[in-house]
Amino acid sequence: MRAIRAVRSAAILSCALGFASPAHADPQFSSGLTLGGGAAYLRTRGPIGVFTMGFHGDVLFLRKSDHDFAIGPYVEALTVAFETFEFGGGVSFLIPVSEHFPLVLSAGLHARAFENNGWEPGMHARVWMGSRSYNFHSLYGLAAGVFVEGRWGLGDGQQADILGGAEIDLEIFALPFVLLYNALR
């Protein structure tokens, strides 16, 4: 009886391994311009309305369709009210809430440069939702959406900001030139 079970198990395992297809989960790159606003200086001067503008780029791994989760690193650079320069990075986690509008949760560390105070370390967390479908034909995945993030300084500047806005994929800015080039050819 044991021999029959062992042979049956071995046959099932060899069939499963023989018919299994390799996973082709290529990384997906994305980069965008962020524009928005929010409340800054929550721990020092009180909430002050500010404008924010920056760049956000990421690479997501383990995704091979619109229905898959993904994880990967990101980098960012931004300014808050043109008074600071901040750059940093961290980890993003994509959750496929719906087929075309996933949720991306990000957390990381940043360095913030003040006008007269030098550099200050900080941490931040971000929630992003928008259009980010999987691109089956290229490593670049077009993305556009809205975000809300909190930024917390770990130094003497006592940064505490809540920011939100829109992220517009950089490829969108190139499309008119690509169309014009193809029309003139």
83 lies in a domain? yes
Query: How confident is the model over 104-150, as pLDDT tens digits?
Result: 999 999 999 977 778 899 999 999 999 988 888 888 888 999 999 99
Which pLDDT score is estimated for 7? 45
> For tokens 């992003």, what's the residue?
128
Q: Please identify every stretch of the chain with a pLDDT value under 50, giving residue numbers as ranges.
A: 6-7, 13, 16-17, 19-23
105 lies in a domain? yes
6 lies in a domain? no
pTM: 0.79
2 lies in a domain? no
13 lies in a domain? no
Report the CATH number that the domain containing residue 105 is assigned in CATH.
2.40.160
Instruction: Report d(CA 179, CA 150) in Å as an integer.
Output: 38
Q: Which domain holds residue 131?
A: 25-184
37 lies in a domain? yes
121 lies in a domain? yes
Domain count, the chain: 1
Which pLDDT score is estimated for 61? 94
77 lies in a domain? yes
Which pLDDT score is estimated for 144? 93
